């Protein structure tokens, strides 16, 4: 039977065992979940333990942190082949938001809800580091954070640092398209009428101005 530890605030730690590994050490898997009650956590524990014992949840022998993943990622060929501009942009995203949010977390403890909460935090006023700009991040920037997290977790799964990419269970943030506004036919007709009227008014004004100038020139000649 899986063991459950109540962390409070609706968070529970579940640890399941399934015999021993080839090196003789206990074959364990652990998860941090959110549940409304111990009863709900127990139900989830049964499901997770079943999936683990039947090979649906792969055990990760070492508990890697998000910082460990970043360190390995920086050593990878893909990182080394990035342009300096791309590296600068990614490192900025890591330094300002991702590492403060997930740095010391064990990868096995990061759940889809944690990703959802992180994305939601970027949408809040004042999320930017610039104290003079209290607007939330743009949809494009928020989507960029999701993309880099998804890519990092893909690497973590390939390198067997975590068993699954939790971003797969989180919807990719969308970019809202602003619908172009067009004038109605009646509005266009009215606009043309106004322009025509303005044109006629301008024409009359210019004629009056020219007549005044001509009158002044004639007076000078007579004098």
Cβ proximity of 156 and 64 under 8 Å: yes
pLDDT of residue 163: 82
pLDDT of residue 128: 78
Count of beta carbons in the 10 Å neighbourhood of residue 16: 22
Q: Tokens 């342009």 belong to which residue?
A: 83
Question: Which class is domain 66-169?
Answer: mainly alpha
Under DSSP, the state recorded for 98 is: I
Helix, strand, coil % (nearest 5) of the chain?
55, 10, 30
Diameter over CA atoms, the chain: 121
Cβ proximity of 66 and 102 under 8 Å: yes
pLDDT of residue 71: 95
Under DSSP, the state recorded for 169 is: G
Q: Round to whole Å and give the CA distance between 218 and 223.
A: 9
pLDDT of residue 14: 87
pLDDT of residue 82: 92
Beta bridge partners of 65: 106
The full set of domain ranges for the chain reads 3-53, 66-169
Cβ proximity of 141 and 64 under 8 Å: no
Q: Round to whole Å and give the CA distance between 162 and 34.
A: 19
pLDDT of residue 93: 93
Q: Round to whole Å and give the CA distance between 85 and 92.
A: 11
- The CA angle 36-33-48, to the nearest 5 degrees, is 110
* pLDDT block averages, 10 residues each, the chain of length 223: 85 83 70 87 87 63 85 93 93 93 91 93 82 78 94 90 89 76 64 65 65 60 58
Q: Tokens 């390198």 belong to which residue?
A: 159
pTM, 2 dp: 0.55
């Amino acid at each position: 039977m899986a063991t459950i530890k109540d962390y409070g605030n609706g968070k529970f730690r579940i640890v399941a065992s399934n015999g021993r590994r080839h090196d003789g050490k206990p074959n364990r898997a652990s998860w941090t979940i959110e549940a409304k009650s111990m009863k709900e956590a127990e139900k989830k524990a049964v499901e997770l333990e079943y999936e683990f014992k039947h090979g649906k949840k792969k055990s990760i022998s070492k508990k890697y942190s998000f910082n460990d993943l970043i360190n390995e990622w920086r050593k990878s060929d893909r990182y080394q082949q990035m342009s300096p501009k791309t590296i600068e942009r990614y490192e900025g995203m890591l330094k300002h938001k991702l590492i403060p949010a997930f740095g010391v977390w064990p990868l096995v403890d990061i759940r889809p809800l944690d990703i959802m909460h992180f994305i939601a935090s970027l949408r809040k006023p004042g999320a930017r580091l610039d104290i003079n700009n209290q607007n939330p991040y743009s949809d494009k920037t928020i989507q960029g954070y999701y993309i880099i997290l998804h890519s990092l977790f893909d690497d973590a799964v390939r390198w067997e640092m975590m068993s699954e990419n939790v971003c797969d269970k989180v919807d990719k943030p969308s970019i809202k398209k602003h619908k172009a506004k067009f004038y109605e036919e009646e509005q266009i007709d009215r606009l043309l009428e106004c322009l025509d009227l303005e044109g006629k008014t301008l024409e009359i004004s210019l004629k009056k101005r020219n007549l005044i100038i001509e009158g002044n020139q004639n007076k000078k000649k007579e004098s």
